[in-house]
Chain A
Amino acid sequence: MVAVAASRQIPRKPLLVGGIVLAWLVLWLVLRDVGTLPLDASQLTPLHRWINEVNDAVGASRNTNPVFLYFFNEIRLVIDEFVTLIQALIAQPSFGRPVPVIGWLGVVAIAGFVSLVVAGWRVALLALAGFTFLGLQGLWQESMDTLSLTLAAVAIALLFGVPLGIWAGLSDRVHRVLTPVLDFMQTMPTFVYLAPLTLFFLIGPASATIATLIYAAPPAIRITAHAIRSVPRDTVEASESLGATGKQTLVKVLLPSSRKTIVLGVNQTIMAALSMVTIAALIDAPGLGKTVVKALQTLDVGTAFNAGLAIVVLAIVLDRVTTAATERRSLPRWALFGGLGVTGVAVYLSHTYLWAAEFPSDEVEVGSSIRQGATAATEWVQDSLPVITGGVKDFVTWALINPLQALLAESPWFLVALVVVALSFLVGGVRSAVVSAVCLGLLIATGLWQDAMVTLASTLVATVIVMLVGIVVGTWMGRSTRADRVIRPILDAGQVMPAFVYLVPFLALFSASRFTAIVAAVVFAAPVATKIIADGVRSVPPASVEASTALGASTWQTIVKVQLPMARGALTLAANQGLIYVLSMVVVGGLVGAGALGYDVVAGFSQGQLYGKGLAAGAAIVVLGVMLDRLTQAAARRWTNQEVR
């Protein structure tokens, strides 16, 4: 009965949606620029001022308030000490020496040796070459700072993450409690918690490390739990049936069986940490990220590219080493001791002699050539291909961004709110309508309504492009194993790269603009969406595809009538994830001219009097994220259910 009622409702829906949009357009013409709740860049609302005051008050009582004295400050001190220790070892002059304890030669040797042991000869060579290249780029110290911060965050993340993951793997209750918390930690745009963290832990390495922890620990926890959970039941039962104690089963069966997957989790954690450490440059984390941010702010594409390249090299080395570590391997004894000996000598040399401690970047250096090359290439592209770069940019701006932004940001707030609530009701019923109404109310409360609408417009445009790319490429990958083999590594690499790195080439091509920010967001989000869609298309049962072909359907018909509809779960998931990824790039976009909420957040980090506004903008991004997430999920539920019934 329900099925009949539901299927009869379907044709009416698009009409209603169309009607609402049409009414919106008409009212927009009439009411344009009325009640748009604008706020100038330097203007503040009482809420923003109040947050500023809280910030000042916290700052004033940092060394008197017991909560800070005995809790936050202690944490900050321990983490600071830990980071400083690692920095003293490999990055910064320390212990009264003009150079770190271990110089470049020692670090390169250690990197090579560790790679040799866990990942084999070829990866070891890659690690040696990669680390040496960092020095050649003239970025040795910055790279080591980034590495120190990453290692510190990863160590702490694993220290807590792996045991928690094991616990969640063993206990259903812990798993149930932990899952939503992890979801929240991972879906929250990374920049958003940078600001509140600085409130408690000050600007600097401690905040950066904690922010990185928050971002990097969930994969370790999640994947460990998953690994423990997916050990076959028979295997666990077999162990129990032989009379193993719980501890014996854990140590001898569960952990060894899930080792490979847990190493994968470590890999994910390291990559997430690296990407976050560079982003944490916004709150003054030392390292390569800082070099990129500074260069972006002065639009120095060459320097940004050089530092971005260093991040990529570091990412590739760390990724290869940890990925290769999942394989079973054993090293001949002579190689082990030989490598140990060579490494020991190198460490000693680098501790003792200046030439082995400080990278001789005056004599051998490629960094300046890279910088000049990148700058020259940029100028050439901008000068000789303005039709392509400028044309695309202008077209998208004129055809998509401007109209949508005008509609959202120049309509009266009550009109937009009404439309959103009405659409939410159509998509997800009363519940969705209530959620949307609450979120819209919160947006108004942040005092940044118009900025939020501008950001929303860019976000929607970016998501549409992400979905278009995802459907085209994902379907191709899902249908062709060869395409999948070629494209998937590229997508993986795209996801591994820290978000900053994307900005550099696009900034070079399109200069600072909303379009640049959208492209960066698309590049960041498209791999996820594409992979989800590819997997969805791939998992359509071959029998259905064969049946369709046997009935004489063309390739196009099979895609449109069989594969995509059957992969609709994946499509909605891809849209949802695409949105969240795009939103998490909003702040990065703020660095390259996206304006609106992204700019508010970035400005909040750098200017004291805008701190409160930045925090409110961060909250507005989260609220937008929650609203869009709920909406797409409701749409997904409705869509999938309807078709299934």
Chain B
Amino acid sequence: MDPVISVRDLWKVFGPKASQVAASDELKALSRQELMDRTGAVAAVRGVDFEVAPGEMFVVMGLSGSGKSTLVRCLTRLVEPTSGTVVFEGENILAADAKRLRDLRRNKFSMVFQHFGLLPHRTVADNVGYGLEIRGVPRAKRAERSQEVIDLVGLSGYEKSYPDQLSGGMQQRVGLARALAGDPDVLFFDEPFSALDPLIRRDMQSEVIRLHREVGKTMVFITHDLSEALKLGDRILIMRDGQVVQVGTGDELVGAPADDYVRDFVKDVPRANVLTLKWIMRPPREDDVLDGPELAPETVVREAVRSVLGAGKPVKVVRDGELLGVVADEEILEVVAGEA
């Protein structure tokens, strides 16, 4: 399947000599700090490559200043990239003129913001319908569609409220509804929940997972919170100083961190919840009794604990009838006890 978004060698340099930097291989090879010292320019995004598959929940994770927010803005050209290509459904977005770009924004993708970005002078319904209004959708049609998405995000009954009458979590539901109202192909989330309380954040994460399942849209989700990334992401891209450190599924990041930075990052993750059997299985030994139960390699360790410990003998990890390895008590306990 063709990717929905495909990003190649994307650069965003802020500062007076931005285009010069992007054109010079020598300058591009410098670290962020060296570049800053040499030219006074700040490279926020440095040679980023990745692809997002249709229907995927793709998470970009990094600490503040890692360039993740700039990256997601480059994808919709809210921030103009300095160089590189962003191909969206086969079309290079960076080549689009202002009108085409507006069309894309109106119909193809939409964004949810960290501080919601709601219009304080409009009711919830009018906020949700804002994108449609801009497109020129007639009022009646707009009201109907707004109501649909308001129901979808669980805001029924609040249509006439103003944003300042709602809690943070509810405000972000409005932001979510506004993004969904235009029925875009892709949703971008820029740290949508970092301004919310932990409990509400958990609710909203579940809400996004539910929506993702229900509407099946491609989503690109920016966060600085690893547990959020692991909870939501089909795949996760870790960014540092504007560069990609690693792209992979959650268990790949935990099981095979690309470098010390990632390793340090995932150190405190409860491994049993993330790792699957394929990361802990070992080749069968001579003395293994191989008549135990079978499990798939994608089984999460936590779910395998009971079967493995209850079996009293090694459990076979099998895909399509082929024996990949075995998992016994000691492998499970090592993970559960948290000793890596």
Task: Give residues in A with beta carbon < 8 Å to B.
Answer: 232, 234-245, 248, 252-253, 256-257, 259, 328
Contact = CB atoms under 8 A, between A and B. Distances in A.
Contacts of B133: 252
B175 interface: yes
Nearest to A245: B102
Given A243-B134, A252-B130, A252-B134, A235 B102 contact: no
B119 A243 contact: no
Contacts of A244: 102, 134
B120 interface: yes
Given A235-B119, A256-B121, A243 B114 contact: no
Contacts of A245: 102, 134
A245 B103 CA distance: 10
Nearest to A248: B134
Contacts of A232: 115, 117
Contacts of A328: 121
B242 interface: no
B263 interface: no
B110 A241 contact: yes
Interface residues of B, number: 32
B251 to A, nearest CB: 33
A259 B134 CA distance: 20
Nearest to B121: A256
Interface string B123-149: 000000011011100000000000000
Contact of B116 (A234, A239, A253): A234
21 contacts: A232-B115, A234-B113, A234-B116, A235-B117, A236-B117, A238-B113, A238-B117, A240-B105, A241-B109, A241-B111, A242-B105, A243-B104, A243-B106, A243-B107, A244-B134, A245-B134, A252-B119, A253-B119, A257-B119, A257-B121, A259-B121
A242 B118 contact: no
B337 interface: no
Nearest to B181: A242
B178 A242 contact: yes
A238 B178 contact: yes
A235 B171 CA distance: 13
B117 A234 contact: yes
Chain A residues touching B, majority SS:
helix
B182 interface: yes
Contacts of B118: 235, 238
Given A241-B105, A252-B130, A234 B182 contact: no
B276 interface: no
B78 interface: yes
Contacts of A256: 119, 121-122
B76 interface: yes
B131 A243 contact: yes
Contacts of A242: 105-106, 110, 130-131, 134, 178, 182
Contacts of B113: 234, 237-238
Most buried by B among A236, A242, A253, A328: A242
Contacts of B178: 238, 242
A88 B119 CA distance: 43
B193 to A, nearest CB: 14
A257 B127 CA distance: 13
A367 to B, nearest CB: 45
A242 B131 CA distance: 5
Interface in B156-198: 175, 178, 182, 188
Contact of A243 (B105, B116, B121): B105
A30 B107 CA distance: 87
Q: Which 9 A-B pairs have the closest CB atoms?
A: A238-B117, A243-B106, A243-B105, A234-B117, A242-B131, A241-B111, A234-B113, A235-B117, A243-B102
A70 B16 CA distance: 46
B178 to A, nearest CB: 7
B131 to A, nearest CB: 4
Contacts of A241: 76, 78, 105, 109-111, 188
B175 A238 contact: yes
Nearest to B106: A243
B196 to A, nearest CB: 14
A238 B179 CA distance: 9
Nearest to A246: B98
Given A241-B76, A242-B182, A234 B134 contact: no
Given A232-B117, A242-B130, 6 more contacts: A234-B117, A238-B111, A241-B76, A243-B103, A252-B130, A328-B121
Nearest to B120: A257
